[in-house]
């Protein structure tokens, strides 16, 4: 294997190591903290905080993240098959499940839209303040 090939392999191993360490920290938090929060959620929160604080740069996990996003549909095959085999259990509650899915989709869409509008308004207001400061000089 050439030097470039080994370096490429090491880059992926380091990126997987970073993601694995964050997942492991999420598992530890899930055991230590008394809240009923899944370890995956703790891991996502940790990853978000590490990215926001600049401890981890997006470029440090970019390639492995792109790979995981490319195989994401494959990861849904097993749960989908399980849903089909559990149809008898789901059928009794189908209406409630569909109502909850609809309401949660509406809520997520509304919150996303309102957040985007607020961010755009904030950006526009900061742009207006900058242009006013520029005119006064």
Instruction: Render pLDDT for 74-85 as a digit per residue (tens, 0 to 9).
Output: 988 988 888 888
Range of the domain at 108: 76-137
Q: How far apart are CA 137 and CA 133, in angstroms?
A: 7
Do 66 and 51 fall within a single domain? yes
Do 41 and 104 fall within a single domain? no
Task: Out of 74, 90, 106, pick the residue that ends a domain.
Answer: 74
pLDDT in the model for residue 137: 46
Unique residue bearing structure tokens 């470039």 = 4
* pTM tops 0.75, yes or no: no
Do 113 and 48 fall within a single domain? no
Do 132 and 94 fall within a single domain? yes
Q: Quick check: 9 pLDDT over 80? A: yes
Task: Out of 32, 59, 74, pick the residue that ends a domain.
Answer: 74
45 contact partners, CB below 8 Å, separation of at least 6: 26
Task: Out of 48, 74, 100, pick the residue that ends a domain.
Answer: 74
Q: Mean of the pLDDT values across residues 23-28?
A: 97
Q: Mean of the pLDDT values across residues 14-38?
A: 96
Of the candidates 48, 38, 42, the residue with the CA atom closest to the CA atom of residue 26: 42
Do 129 and 83 fall within a single domain? yes
Domain count, the chain: 2
């Amino acid at each position: 294997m050439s030097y470039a090939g080994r370096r490429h392999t090491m880059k992926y191993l380091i990126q997987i190591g970073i993601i694995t360490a964050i997942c492991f920290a999420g598992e530890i938090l899930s055991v230590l903290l008394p809240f009923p929060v899944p370890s995956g959620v703790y891991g996502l929160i940790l990853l978000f905080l590490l990215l926001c604080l600049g401890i981890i740069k997006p470029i440090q996990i970019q390639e492995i993240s792109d790979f995981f996003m490319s195989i994401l549909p494959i990861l849904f095959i097993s749960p989908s098959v399980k849903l089909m085999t559990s149809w008898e259990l789901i059928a009794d509650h189908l209406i409630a499940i569909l109502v909850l899915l609809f309401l949660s989709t509406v809520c997520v869409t509304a919150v996303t839209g309102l957040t985007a509008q607020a961010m755009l308004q904030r950006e526009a207001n900061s742009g207006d303040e900058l242009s006013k400061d520029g005119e006064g000089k």
